A and B are shown apart, each in its own frame.
Chain A
Amino acid sequence: MTDVTMTVNGKAVSGNIEGRTLLSDFIREGLRLTGTHVGCDTSQCGACVVHVDGKAVKSCTMLAAEAEGADITTIEGMATPDGSLSVIQQAFQDHHGLQCGFCTPGMVMSAAALLAENPSPTESEIRKYLEGNICRCTGYHNIVKAIMAASGQSVAGVAAE
């Protein structure tokens, strides 16, 4: 067992964990932040994406122990301080970018990382960037639209409804 300490959504947290504990498990089971989802066991689906020191990371690919000292943001930390939805979250609602909601936390976290890197991505850049995030519900159309909108671009070009 090892001790880990990190900052999650601005709060210092610690835990005593087995060395093999994945960051995703630590977040879900240890911290009971269940917004981070686990949709696969081969690092393919992206439901588990969080930000580690500002970078989008699939939390199922990282050991919790490796996040020692890191600054982590999960979906629970994405809303604005007054509790209202962030621009990206609001765009997902406005453009119906989610259905069952299971992929959504990962999508929002990936979208945020994309827009931090590339504030005005093209549709095809968005689609390429989301390669590591699987959504089974939306067909991606409205996710792409939501991210375009969140970046302040017109969504008129994203085909009619």
Chain B
Amino acid sequence: MPKDHGIGARNKRREDVRFLTGTGNYTDDINLAGQAYVHFLRSDVAHGRIKRLDTSVALEMPGVVRIFTGADFEGVGGIPCGWQVTDRHGNPMQEPAHPVLAQGKVRHVGDAIAAVVAETPAQARNAAEAIELEMEDLPAVVDMKAALADGAPKVHDDLDSNLCYDWTFGSDDATVQAAFDSAAHVTTLDLVNQRLVANPMEPRVAVGDYNRASDESTLYTTSQNPHVIRLLMGAFVLGIPEHKLRVVAPDVGGGFGSKIFHYAEEAFCTFAAKALKRPVKWTASRSEAFITDAHGRDHVTTIELALDADNNFTGVRTHTMANMGAYLSTFAPSVPTYLHGTLMAGNYKTPAIQVNVKAVFTTTVPVDAYRGAGRPEATYQLERVIDKAARELGADPIALRRQNFITEFPYETPVAVAYDTGDYTATMDKLLEMVDRDGFEARAAESARAGKLRGFGVNCYIEACGIAPSALVGQLGARAGLYESATVRVNATGGLVVMTGSHSHGQGHETAFPQVIAEMIGIDENMVEIVHGDTAKVPMGMGTYGSRSLAVGGSAMVRATEKIINKAKKIAAHLMEASEGDIELKDGQFSVAGTDKSVAWGDVTLAAYVPHNYPIEEIEPGLEETAFYDPSNFTYPAGAYACEVEVDPETGKVEICSFAAADDFGNVVNPMIVEGQVHGGLAQGIGQALLEAAVYDADGQLLSASYMDYAMPRADDLPNFKVDHSCQTPCTHNPLGVKGCGEAGAIGSPPAVVNAVVDALQRGGHDVTHIDMPLTPGRVWQAINE
């Protein structure tokens, strides 16, 4: 019987009612009295020196309030980077300045040069067009290899080169070399994990406000982590202490990573509101989003896999160039390093693994975390090279994987992480139950009759989620702690309010989090309200990313609720004149073990606030507790995915016939929400595999800068998905036993699709071993016909 309440129930989402009736409150829905609007004049060249910037004509345009340029931001901090990577020589990465408005030079198409504040958006736009700008064009730096060549034009004149860092991780040189020297077989693969744009459907918006009386600044922004923005912007850019700065992220229309980062527009609106003493609003157009939201992926990799004579994996070695774009976005340096290198063991007991990453500055939009962040790049290369090895060795790709699975836990990988638990055989078995492999040959024959090629691909993935143990990430270069906080406030009449640092922008926390409390106390979910997204209401928060909300934020909530229950038991013991150790809580009733004495949850909460008969000597009145939870390890969701495709060799078009995902997320609080998260991840992963690419030309112009050119997956591009999360090895180190499910789909699906397409082509007699994503008809056709 599925549960209808508490942990494991498919509770319908309470947030849906407002979204379905048009009564959500997204940042662009916020309009403050007297607000002015800003329009940014942005660079239309990739690289250039500002020769002349004359705002005098523009200033006279109707409605213009003020025009800001880089000069207004001298003495104001730049946009900070939240992670410092140490290179293989022990030196800190090269870290360029990132001004709010360009200081003399522009470094990517979209770099902001000036900001026009006017009475209406149209007036601001018109005036921006009247700004006179003379630019000395400098050579664009687009290709990473060229960017690293001697004598390449430098993106940042004051840095030594365009190399941000050269980082090596994992086993030492001798160990890895020995593995390759003694290998019976080595498979090598060169591949590109293409640049993507996260594209949450809500474009970014920022509204700055300033209260003269209290000297308080408020920023409303489309953020996944308002407290992080408060810290970064307050402490590093504008010099506003936390108690004078409030950041609110109300309903947010998706993020997928791109709304983690602190952006210049946020700092600008906050700064300008104070300077002008009136609210200042910015709403990105989609075109602007394409050239200002941090992009994702953009890795170029060579991976080698060594195997012994029995097909055991003995070594993995990778060399990757990772594009940072023009500046270091908030978490950019961590993505190709600690979110990528640490995952190169995958699900396999390879004893020697070494990862080398060169991070490169180019005159393109900054690149940072996008759904999966580093983990899709790791999974893709590993699962592609394994498939290629299986083909070279004539081995069954599933058997080859199974043979190399890690089966004993905890397992310390050669790349510095310790998997606490997992069962990769179980998810693979489950996957094979979900797909009809026996019927494949018949379906392939059917396809062949229609002149099509059918293929089947599988892959496995593991990810490190529940980000992250603060002390560990501190050693690795994080400039922040990655705990989460929750305050649980119980009201006199028994209702609860949870103030959580986890931000919900589609994940359904408002529904799922109360299920946990309902389970713990034995009350109805409707007695629990979730508050998030406002630094004035929630004590602290590191926000939502890295599939961390339930694993870290939920754990903080559990800890705070445990404190509540402990205190409530003391009160209940007093009310029933029993000893605290004998008090039990079940179904919202406190009882004394072995007696029929009981008091209801509401009696105890009332006593806490009306402490007439109360152990006042021992405990304070009131019932409110805060907990900060710092995880002791990452969590390791894992799974096995399968894709069946049909390829039309005449056109190169790929159709996904079926897609199945067997995931192990540990315990699951709301299966409906978990399935939805997987569906969305799969769509983004399949989008990467078949459709999406951010493409720059040699001049640094973004060619795919609108939905006309950037192929977002549409309903008709995708199949129905089969998803399963019944394989559950609960996380061993957080109180909920949960692992996180937000990114799995995007991590696990691209290799399954590409493996399936290569399989289809191979079965069709085409000697194609690899095609770089996206597998557009043109690329597939070319691979067939080359």
Residues of A within 8 A of B (CB): 18, 20, 28, 32-42, 44-45, 47, 74-76, 78-79, 85, 89, 92-94, 96, 98-105, 108, 123-124, 126-128, 130-131, 133-144, 158-161
Asked if B720 is an interface residue, CB under 8 A from chain A, the answer is yes
- The chain B residue sitting closest to A79, CB to CB, is B21
Inter-chain pairs besides A74-B22, A100-B201, A140-B683, 7 sampled, C-beta below 8 Å: A34-B28, A35-B21, A96-B12, A101-B24, A101-B251, A102-B202, A134-B714
A134 in complex: contacting residue of B31, B287, B712, CB < 8 Å: B712
B506 within 8 A of A: yes
A7 to B252, CA, bound (A): 30
Chain A residues with Cβ under 8 A from B588's Cβ? none
Asked if B715 and A136 make an inter-chain contact with CB atoms under 8 angstroms apart, the answer reads no
A21 smallest CB distance to B (angstroms): 9
Q: Which of B16-49 contact A (CB under 8 A)?
A: 16-24, 26, 28-29, 31
Roughly how many angstroms separate A42 CA and B201 CA in the complex, as a whole number?
Answer: 13
Q: Is the CB of A140 within 8 A of B715?
A: yes
A92 touches B21 (CB 8 A): no
Q: Given A76-B21, A101-B253, A136-B200, verify A96-B715 contact (CB < 8 Å).
A: no
What residues on A are CB-neighbors of B254 within 8 Å? 99-100, 102, 136-137
Which of chain A's residues has its CB closest to B15's CB? A101
> What 0/1 readout, one digit per residue, does chain B (485-511) give for beta carbons within 8 Å of chain A?
000000000000000000001111000
Contacts of B202 in A (CB 8 A): 37, 39, 100, 102
A160 and B722 contact, Cβ closer than 8 Å, known pairs A100-B505, A130-B715, A138-B676: yes
The docked-state distance in angstroms from the alpha carbon of A36 to that of B672 is 27
For residue B131, which residues in chain A have a CB less than 8 angstroms away from its CB? none
In this complex, what residue of A is CB-closest to B25? A34
Q: What is the bound-complex CA distance between A9 and B520, given in angstroms? A: 44
Residues of chain B at the chain A interface (Cβ within 8 Å)? 12-13, 15-24, 26, 28-29, 31, 122, 199-203, 251-254, 256, 285-287, 505-508, 671-673, 675-676, 679-684, 706-708, 712-716, 718, 720-724, 745
Query: In chain B, what residue has the closest Cβ to A134?
Result: B712
Q: Choose among B23, B26, B287, B720 the residue that contacts A144 (Cβ–Cβ < 8 A).
A: B720
Cβ–Cβ contact B26 & A37, under 8 A: yes
Which of chain A's residues have a CB closer than 8 A to the CB of B18?
101
Task: Give 20 pairs: A residue, B residue, CB < 8 Å, sorted on A.
Answer: A28-B28, A32-B31, A37-B26, A37-B202, A39-B203, A39-B253, A44-B708, A93-B12, A93-B17, A99-B508, A101-B506, A102-B200, A124-B716, A130-B716, A131-B715, A136-B256, A138-B676, A159-B722, A160-B724, A161-B723
CA distance A139 to B22 in the complex (A): 21
Closest residue of chain A to B681 (Cβ to Cβ) is: A139
Known contacts A35-B21, A35-B24, A76-B22; A98/B16 CB under 8 A: yes
Docked Cα-Cα span, A110 to B578, in Å, equals 62
Q: 6 tightest CB-CB pairs across the interface, nearest first?
A: A35-B22, A101-B19, A102-B253, A139-B683, A100-B506, A44-B707
Which of A18, A98, A159 lies in contact with B19, CB distance below 8 A?
A98
Kindly provide the distance from the CB of A24 to the nearest chain B CB, expressed in whole angstroms: 12
Interface centre among B17, B18, B201, B706 (most CB of A within 10 A): B201
Give Cα A41–Cα B705 distance, bound, in whole angstroms.
11
* Residues of chain B within 8 A of A42, CB atoms compared: 286-287, 706-708
Q: Which residues of B contact A44 (CB under 8 A)?
A: 706-708, 712
Bound together, the chains give a CA A137 to CA B251 distance in angstroms of 14
- For residue A11, give the distance in angstroms from its CB to the closest CB of chain B: 15
Residues of B within 8 A of A96 (CB): 12-13, 672-673, 675-676
Within 8 Å by CB of A105, from B22, B203, B285, B722, lies: B22
The reply to whether A102 and B26 form a contact with Cβ atoms under 8 Å apart is: yes
In the bound complex, what is the Cα–Cα distance between A45 and B202 (angstroms)?
Answer: 11
A130 to B683, CA, bound (A): 15
The total of interchain contacts (Cβ-Cβ below 8 angstroms) comes to 191
* Docked complex Cα distance between A92 and B12 (Å): 10
Inter-subunit contact A85/B201 (CB<8 Å): no
A111 to B639, CA, bound (A): 34
Contact of B16 with A37 in the complex, beta carbons under 8 Å: no
CA of A101 to CA of B707, assembled, Å: 19
The docked-state distance in angstroms from the alpha carbon of A74 to that of B21 is 9
Q: Give bound CA distance, A94 to B253, whole Å.
A: 20
Tell whether, in the assembled complex, residue A136 and residue B201 are in contact, meaning their CB atoms are under 8 Å apart: yes
**Cα A142 to Cα B24 with chains together (Å):** 20
User: Does A127 contact B21, Cβ atoms closer than 8 Å?
Assistant: no
Query: How far is B716's CA from A133's CA once the two chains are assembled, in angstroms?
Result: 11
Q: Which residues of A lie under 8 Å from residue B20 when comparing CB positions?
A: 75, 78, 85, 89, 92-93, 98, 101, 104, 108
**Max chain B CB contacts within 10 Å: which of A96, A98, A138, A160?**
A96
- B716 & A89 in contact (Cβ 8 Å cutoff): no
Shortest C-beta distance, A7 to chain B (Å), equals 17
CB distance from B459 to the nearest CB of A (A): 18
Closest Cβ of chain A to B278, distance in Å, is 18
Tell which of B21, B28, B715 touches A126, judged by Cβ atoms closer than 8 Å: B715
User: Which of A99, A138, A139, A159 has the most chain B CB within a 10 Å cutoff?
Assistant: A139
CB closest residue in chain B, given A140: B715
Q: Are A75 and B199 in contact (CB under 8 A)?
A: no
| Residues of chain A contacted by B21 (CB below 8 angstroms) | 35, 75-76, 78-79, 85, 89
Most buried by A among B122, B715, B724: B715
Question: B718 and A139: CB pair below 8 A?
Answer: yes
B26, chain A: closest CB distance, angstroms: 7
Name the one of A36, A134, A138, A158 contacting B22, with C-beta atoms under 8 angstroms.
Answer: A36
A48 to B396, CA, bound (A): 49
**Measured CA separation A107–B706 after assembly (Å):** 20
**Complex Cα distance A45/B199, Å?**
11
Question: Do B506 and A133 touch across chains, with their CB atoms under 8 A apart?
Answer: no
